[in-house]
Structure 1
Amino acid sequence: METHKEIGDEGEAYVMKLAYGTYLKYWCYPNPKDENGDYKEICDLLILFRNTAIIISVKNHHYDGDYDKYQKKVIEKSTKQLNGAYRKLFENGKEVYIKHPDRELEKFDPLRYQHIFRITINVGEQFEKYNLSDYVEGKGFINIFDKDTFEVIINELDTINDLTDYLIKRERLLSSEIKLSDQCREKDLLALFVTNAREFPEFVNSTEEPENSTCVGAWEKYILSEAYEYKKDNDGSSYFIDQMVAKEVLKLRDGESLARELMNTSRFERRQLANNIFSLIKKYQNTSKDILVRRYHVHNDIGHLVIYYSPDLPEKSVDEIVKLAAEIYAYKYGEKDVVVIAVTDKLKQYKFGLFKKHEGPIAPEAMEWLNAMIAKFGWFQNEQRIEQHDSEFPK
């Protein structure tokens, strides 16, 4: 028979796996405590990324066929803990300081977060038919997952943006008055969501689903489909961005700010960004000396400027251009944030830039200086618009 310590250790191990073994690790606070307050643990895992906060409670209950017992030991207990964590972070009116394992003590800012999710994960023995959510009047919505389904979700939706989008729409679906079919499993809902342009199809909202359009077996059909194979093959290039952030960006002095901008993209958007980098290198490396070419596109109101420069260019000149390029493009096209990724032959060297525009009008002298820089570099005189057609799944 398992002891409480063994049960606790298994739950703790799962928290560590989430915190350090997935793409979430850069933004995870495992077992955060109120460092300058009562020093009590706030929740099992807190994930903070830009305007999204995810509060997670992990339980380890082995289902023995007694659903009432499961409801009491997992759902009720976890919901109480999650609502307590929510009150501590967002409603108590007192300053809360938390600690990330790799950073200094920081003040939690509740006003920063527009999207707040509460999640229960049961890592004990799995069973398929369980309530997918819990709701207490006046206290909010709780997402419920088992270990298997949550791992499937974060493997399939393996960026913060993709995960947040799913949680927002899942919560909207499950909190509606329309009852789902008892046959709808979490993985089937996920498959229908992913293959329906990231929306739940209307028939999911009905217990009388059309024949041939059912939740039953949707996940199995999806992972055996050509669409799934196409997506996995074509997403391969996108992981270059994840690796670049881990190996290059986070090592920089202000690398975390730049990493947050680059990670504020979906898997499909990272695919497009990586393919832009690769196509520039393929087209221009070994073509001529002293060449510097640019491509610019926008995702989520963030400008992404990709630069290829030949290795013959003086490094001082390239450094100056990269340093100024983000500000110049923000001025030219109006984006608040602009990221620069500059690469040379065979990705032998990377250079990065980031500009975050201040609110308010640009001073006349600043405009004059920026226009002088544009003239100096000779930019925007013969711009070419490139149309790229790509799709997440085959048409």
Structure 2
Amino acid sequence: MNKPVNDSEEFVYQICHKSFLSLWSYANPRGKNFKELCDILIVCEPDIIIISVKDIKLTDSGNIEVDWQRWLRKAIEGSVDQIYGAEKRIKSTSHVIRSDGIQGLPFPSLDVQRIHRIAIALGGDDKVPIQFGDFGKGFVHVFDKISFEIILQELDTITDFVQYLLDKENLYNSGKQTAFEGSEEDLLGYYLQNGRSFPENFDVIIVGSDIWSEIVKKPEYKRKKEADKESYAWDKLIEIISQDVLSNDLEFGSTLEKSELVLRTMARESRFMRRMLGKYFSEFMDLAAQEKTESRVLISQQLNTVYVFLVKPHGEDRQHRIAELGGRCFIMRGLQQNYKTVIGIATERYQPGQGFSFDLTYLHQESWTSENQKQLEYVQKEFGWFESPQQKSVHEDEYPAN
């Protein structure tokens, strides 16, 4: 079973599972000789997040310096050793091995993989100054319970979270000074206030103790969180299809790796982009249920990807549905030549009490030839797909105005 072994790991795993979704989240994966590799592992190419969790009770010997050092040694240094060991093993391993011994996703190749190291130090009761940085074999981010929960609730996609980690590493590797009056969540607040970046021209950054608490009170922040609710329709779509993939319920030869390529692209959309994708996908499914449309195209400029959605009546032959989905994806690759990747998702028209299935298509084509254009024109004429598509451009602010 892919389940954590104790309450502390369960706490961290549930947060990771919600943010990074089930297909890419592993609890207690196995390493050499079936020993535990690390506590939590996230693999979403090109990123690998190695997480070690330590829950060490802060003792009270009467000497606070001694107590702090003892806690730091057990809670942080122990995690750092596990993380570095896991990283070394990963670099010589082809696939994730789940806690139940079943093979999971392949690790990204060495030439593209980006490894992020995270230690979660619990039990310090927010009394011990947290240390982070390069402990000898690469930068390790260290979070306590409060900061980890806040950051993963705010940056709850692989893209948003990893970008914060990278920007934070760059900040500290630059050698610039940062003075902490507050906590990690205040650094996150400073980052968000500056347009998801850290300023380059400065001598010292002073991170105040009330930055985060002030941000969450702002009306524009509350409007953003309200608007983001629509984005979770996208998460739900990914999760529903992922469960079919993990239970091997997709038909017609879909493998874990082929299906994951489609879902990984969807999962690498930021929260802001998911807001628009989720909104217009939900709108499309409502219209399809009323038999007012059967196909819609959504374009993600963030990932330079075109999404083609197709809904057909219950009982329609799956092979025909897959063929139509592939044909529509091919046409859109030709009609939108600035976008080289097209993802297709087909399902049934929603009917209360009826089940549903999914078919997936992934098309990536670097160039578009004259022969491709002839094929496109033939298919369009033969089947009428996207002959006169209605186009609509929308604008949305991450922090909506009143």
TM-score after normalising by structure 1: 0.80
**2:372 & 2:116 partners in 1: Cα distance?**
42
Aligned partner (choices 380, 390, 393) of residue 396 of structure 2: 390
The structural deviation recorded for 1:307 is: 4.8
Aligned partner (choices 333, 338, 344) of residue 342 of structure 2: 338
Count of residue correspondences: 373
Q: Could you say what secondary structure the match of 1:197 adopts?
A: coil
CA gap 1:277/1:388 in 2 versus in 1, 3 angstroms: same
1:66-94 per-residue CA deviation (whole Å, 9 max, x = no partner) reads 3222332223232222222222222xxx4
Asked if residue 232 in structure 1 is aligned to residue 225 in structure 2, the reply is: yes
Asked if residue 62 in structure 1 is aligned to residue 69 in structure 2, the reply is: no
Asked if residue 258 in structure 1 is aligned to residue 262 in structure 2, the reply is: yes
Residues 1-395 of structure 1 mapped to structure 2, 5 A cutoff: 9-14=6-11, 16-18=13-15, 20=17, 23-34=20-31, 37-64=32-59, 65=64, 66-90=67-91, 94-95=92-93, 97-100=95-98, 104-105=102-103, 108-111=107-110, 113-127=112-126, 130-137=129-136, 139-201=137-199, 206-207=203-204, 209=206, 215-248=208-241, 250-251=243-244, 252-253=249-250, 254=254, 255-280=259-284, 286=290, 291-298=293-300, 299-307=302-310, 320-334=323-337, 335-341=339-345, 352-357=359-364, 368-379=374-385, 381-395=387-401
- 1:24–1:160: 8 Å Cα contact kept in structure 2? no
Segments of 5+ residues of structure 2 without an aligned counterpart are: none
CA gap 1:382/1:134 in 2 versus in 1, 3 angstroms: same
CA gap 1:14/1:133 in 2 versus in 1, 3 angstroms: same
- 2:19–2:157: 8 Å Cα contact kept in structure 1? no
CA gap 1:286/1:13 in 2 versus in 1, 3 angstroms: closer
**1:315 & 1:9 partners in 2: Cα distance?**
47
Greater relative CO (CA pairs within 8 A, separation 6+):
2
**1:119 & 1:376 partners in 2: Cα distance?**
55
1:86-142 per-residue CA deviation (whole Å, 9 max, x = no partner) reads 22222xxx44553235884255454264321011101213216624522135x2111
Aligned twin of 1:5: none
**1:208 & 1:238 partners in 2: Cα distance?**
33
- 1:44–1:58: 8 Å Cα contact kept in structure 2? yes
- 1:10–1:60: 8 Å Cα contact kept in structure 2? no
Aligned twin of 1:4: none
Pairwise CA RMSD of aligned residues? 3.4
Segments of 5+ residues of structure 1 without an aligned counterpart are: 1-7
The structural deviation recorded for 1:152 is: 1.1
Identity %: 27
Q: Could you say what secondary structure the match of 2:177 adopts?
A: coil
